[in-house]
Amino acid sequence: DAGVIQSPRHEVTEMGQEVTLRCKPISGHNSLFWYRQTMMRGLELLIYFNNNVPIDDSGMPEDRFSAKMPNASFSTLKIQPSEPRDSAVYFCASSLIGQIYGYTFGSGTRLTVV
């Protein structure tokens, strides 16, 4: 298995532009998580899905952020409009439901908003 695949690896965009981050979880995994890593707050959970259904989006910082999981093999995290303070590394992780020791993370997308 190729693991959790995120794209793009790096994204540089101008303030006000829409940004879409993509994630392909491990085949067979039915939980998917979006995290954001910053120096100040470490790894913050933004949202997670079980069986493609959003379960907890309390970590989504603002209405500018949205996430979807249209099927078991694909998820997106969208920021519209983007702001410089959104600059961070965004990670996607997947696991089997309830297996909290079994998270597999992708390599992350480094987002820079200028």
Partner 1 sequence: DQQVKQNSPSLSVQEGRISILNCDYTNSMFDYFLWYKKYPAEGPTFLISISSIKDKNEDGRFTVFLNKSAKHLSLHIVPSQPGDSAVYFCAAAYSSASKIIFGSGTRLSIRP
> Are 65 and 82 contacting, i.e. CB atoms less than 8 angstroms apart?
no
User: Contact between 103 and partner 1 (CB under 8 A)?
Assistant: yes
Cβ closest to partner 1, residue 8 vs residue 16: 8
Question: What's the closest the beta carbon of residue 89 comes to partner 1, in angstroms?
Answer: 9
DSSP β-ladder status, 109-113 and 53-56: unpaired
Can you name the residues that pair with 37 across neighbouring β-strands? 43, 89
Question: Segment 7-46, which members bind partner 1 (CB under 8 A)?
Answer: 31, 33, 35, 39-45
- List C-alpha distances in Å: 113 to 9, 83, 89: 14, 6, 12
Interface contacts to partner 1, rule CB under 8 A: 4, 31, 33, 35, 39-45, 48, 50, 55-56, 91, 93, 95, 97-98, 100-108
